[in-house]
Chains A and B, each alone.
Chain A
Amino acid sequence: MTPSFLLVLVPLLPLLAALATVIGGRRLGPRAHLPAVVGIAAAAVVALSLLVVTARSRGSAETPRPVDMVTTLWQWATVDDAYAPAHDSHAAVPGTAVGEDAYSARPFSISIAMRLDPLTATMLVIITSVGLLVAIYSIGYMHDDPGYPRFFALVAMFVFSMSMLVAASNFLLVYVFWEAVGACSYLLIGFWFQKPEAAKAAKKAFLVNRIGDFGLAVGVFLLWLTYGTLDFHDTLSPDGTILPGILGQTRLADVSGYVGGIVGTAICLLLLLAACGKSAQLPLHVWLPDAMEGPTPASALIHAATMVTAGVYLVARSAPLFMACPGALVTVSIIGTTTALVAALIGTVQNDLKRVLAYSTISQLGYMFACLGTGTLLGFTAAIFHLLTHAFFKALLFLGAGSVMHSMGGVIDMRRFGGLRKLMPITATTFLIGSLALAGIAPFAGFFSKDEILASLHSKGWPDVHHSTENGHHAMIPELPSALSHSGTMHDVGYRGVSNYDNHSSSHQTSDVVGLDALNQPAVWKALFWMALVTAGLTAFYTFRAVFMTFTGPLRIPDEAGDHAHESPSVMTTPLLILAIPATFIGFILFTTDGLAHFLAATPSFTTPSIVKTATASVFHWDLAIQGTLAAALGIVIAAVGHLGRRSDGPQLERWLGPVRPFLEHRMFIDQLYAAVIVKPIEAIAFLAAIFDRSFIDRSVRFVAHLPLALGSVVRQLQSGLLQRYALAGVIGVLAIIVFLAWRL
């Protein structure tokens, strides 16, 4: 059982399960869930073992080394002589001179290669475990649905696609599976396709994602042009030289391995566009709230825990690329923080429980992007940490919401029910745990991850304030040697300042493209920090508003509930209970042991010297912790004042918002803006094109079709039925031939 075999198993088992469900699902009847559940469970076990393997091969704490195990399955496509790099291109092996005869042509080859490193292992565990719990939950939730086998086939297919996405070692493969998860999302959102709203929502999700996919495609093209390869890992060319992969050890060790300037920023912004599309950041966030039309387990799996985190994964994986473009990094943070704030504001006035959770997801993803953009090891680690904790508690919240929806007969408008804590105690308790984690209350999981996020933002805003010695327990990330250790780049083991991008490589193009670099000011970071803090308060507010409206107050059950109004069956509550455990403890465990930080630091992408140079230790800052908790507490208190114990359909506290409230209720009119700016002009163009097509093109085609008819009707006059005319025609023909021949002679 080599690690490569295990790595292949993780996506393979759900794929086989999906195929089995597709082929034999109908025949299995009520047991159609079995292949999917078994497959994903097996994959989860394998993923856990891979985690162990990766952790072990990290080396000891004193001499860590990056983990980088590549498995190449087969060569998918090869085009010889596809590319001749320019002289000073970064396609050269760092450290060697690029001569004219060094590279005449580079073959374009895509191999199906998978790479195991700590980031991948973490993501695989998240994907498979949450997937497994969602699959078990769906056994109960989708019980009577006619599309029962189809659902499990799609879930298994999704787990396969997402696993391959995080395990792929090639940008083209990432693109392929990026599209695949988009397709699975489309199919799952539109699962009940007979409902027009669901079909529309699925279409909207797919189209908005398409914009991101376009960015990813162009980004991949630019990557190929700039770096000469699309592989993450280093490969051997036929003549024995090393072809440095984009995220391979060779290039990571080189200070000038990555392109900055216009090209680099363009690449990073395109990747950011793709991430915005998939992770529902501004301005491409419009699809996620509508995606709640799909079944709740699908929302839990895809739109909370896993698919929407693909964008975060992509940016994290491309960390070395981003580190070469400071402007792109600050853009990431700005977009993330803005999204977080906007989504939190909109979420405060939503009355649909799932919509609240959807906006909460957008907001939390914004947090992840915010700290990704800080460019510090702390930032990257915090993002992944928050991704991990968010996956668990958001899945928990969604599954809880699904449980509520299931027992309320499909009603999810919070104003129509209330006081469900006595009716559904397990759901209520687990929902409360998840809400506490989301709000960031110690010692639940969200507290620690949010604290790290705020810390990374704070460290950028106040670079000189930050010192770590007297504030509690800290851990140092020792310098990780790169595979080819160039001489003397071992820094002091200690704390270094942040944001010294000027140490960064002298890249070839140093011009600041659109003035993005100018945004990299402490003032901007300060503003982002305050925005993040306010968002933390808002998060707590809307979360507990939802909790209080749903579970407190007098018991009210809508009519659609019928005899459903009871606690969900154990097949549905067991995953809730299981999820509640990590939601409670995982933050504490991982933080206090610094396991995750150390673990992730062995990811090759995070070992690039630019990050390491700007590393900050992960510390526990009491001041930030107190600020965060205060904000959250304030939010909870206001929510309690407004909603605790009251009827959920009564006049709401939010009416005090005045005219702002309708603005927020209509989601800040962003959808309407899109409709006016993009949709209507396209419809107008389509209308004009239709007119052009009908009047011009159709007419020309009909005209061409008419020509033989016209010609025929002229020639047809010859067939008069009068034999003498036929004879005359014959005679004239013969004479014409003879005259012609006589003339020529």
Chain B
Amino acid sequence: MTPFVRLFAGTGNLEFLSPGILLAVAVTCLAVSLYLLLPKSGRDGKASRRIGWLLGLITLGLFIATGQRLGNLGEETVFLTVSLVAVISAAATITCRSPVYAAIWFALCLAGVSGVLLVLGAQFLGVATIVVYAGAILVMFLFVLMLAQPSGLTTSDRVTNEPLLSAVAGAVLLGLLSLSIGRLSAEEPLCCRPPSKAAALGATTVEKIPTESVNLLASDQVARLGGELFGHHLVAVEAVGILLLVALIGAIAIVSNGLEGSQAETSSLQEGSHS
């Protein structure tokens, strides 16, 4: 079987959203809630937003209820909390009218994501997410908003392109992904690791069952990550460095070209409607 087929043909006995009807209900709920939440022309009052949030929470509840329990209650609680923070902030990001508020919500989402990463044992990445994303990228976004749209909302923020179709597409995608995730099973491997490579890495996980002594969660995890990075992926790292350099130069180049070339256009093409 091809891996693609196995995505949907797994016989995992730990299925969630197992009866198909639940999956359909969840997907529908999600679609409707997002449709209601997205800013659109037409009836867009407070009531519809509230109903949207309610339906969204119902969907989340379905996911949580039918999901698997992690063994540890503490781990379970923490994971649930941070993931809820991440998900709800993400929903708020995309449905918020003001772009500034959306950026703030995104920051909160990043916090949640960082928490999830930490729960999953990625120490370095959890922190790096905050540092790079929230600290650099998000601030850049806010700077651009300050330059471009300091007054807040414009008309274009209050309407969206095809809200219904987008919501349905996203919900269907989530449904499909949930279906395939739910059919993962421990016995059937989804993809095969060549045993030789695993041995070379020194990993103890020729089977995919991690034991407690996985070096992933060792105390010197960051050092090991660095060793892996600069050991096995040195070329890629150097390439990424060059990429960063090129992006830097490119950004400067575009800006400087644009500065010279757009003087005439700026005066003639100003047709914004700031409101």
Contacts and interface: CB of A to CB of B under 8 A. Distances in A.
Interface residues of A, number: 12
Interface in B148-182: 161-162, 165-166, 169, 172-173, 176, 179
A735 interface: yes
Interface string B112-136: 0000000000000000000000000
A725 B179 CA distance: 27
B248 interface: no
Contacts of B8: 741-742, 745
Given A728-B166, A741-B4, 12 more contacts: A722-B161, A724-B161, A725-B162, A728-B161, A728-B165, A735-B172, A735-B173, A735-B176, A739-B176, A741-B8, A742-B176, A745-B5
Contacts of A738: 176
B179 A742 contact: yes
A353 to B, nearest CB: 92
Interface of B: 4-5, 8-9, 161-162, 165-166, 169, 172-173, 176, 179
A623 B166 CA distance: 116
Interface string A686-729: 00000000000000000000000000000000000010110010
Contact of A732 (B4, B5, B161, B169): B169
Contacts of A725: 161-162
A532 B165 CA distance: 99
Nearest to A734: B173
B17 to A, nearest CB: 14
A731 interface: yes
A350 B240 CA distance: 112
Interface in A193-243: none
Nearest to A731: B169
A558 B176 CA distance: 107
A740 to B, nearest CB: 11
A725 B169 CA distance: 12
B9 A728 contact: no
A199 B169 CA distance: 76
Contacts of A741: 4, 8
Given A722-B161, A728-B161, A738-B176, A745 B9 contact: yes
Chain A residues touching B, majority SS: helix
A739 B171 CA distance: 13
Contacts of B173: 731, 735
B177 to A, nearest CB: 10
Given A735-B169, A745-B8, A728 B162 contact: yes
B30 to A, nearest CB: 14
Nearest to A724: B161
Interface in A157-184: none
A722 B5 CA distance: 35
Contacts of B165: 728, 732
A725 B172 CA distance: 17
Contacts of A724: 161-162
Nearest to B8: A742
A745 B5 CA distance: 8
Contacts of B5: 745
Nearest to B162: A728
Most A Cβ at <10 Å: residue of B4, B162, B166, B169: B169
A355 B265 CA distance: 92
A738 B180 CA distance: 11
Nearest to B172: A735
Nearest to B5: A745
A324 B167 CA distance: 94
A230 B91 CA distance: 94
A252 to B, nearest CB: 87
A739 B172 contact: yes
Contacts of B162: 724-725, 728
A735 B169 CA distance: 8
A738 B179 CA distance: 12
Contacts of B169: 728, 731-732, 735
A725 B173 CA distance: 17
Contacts of B161: 722, 724-725, 728
Nearest to B6: A745
A432 B244 CA distance: 121
26 contacts: A722-B161, A724-B162, A725-B161, A725-B162, A728-B161, A728-B162, A728-B165, A728-B166, A728-B169, A731-B173, A732-B165, A732-B169, A735-B169, A735-B172, A735-B173, A738-B176, A739-B172, A739-B176, A741-B4, A741-B8, A742-B8, A742-B176, A742-B179, A745-B5, A745-B8, A745-B9
A168 B116 CA distance: 106
Contacts of B9: 745
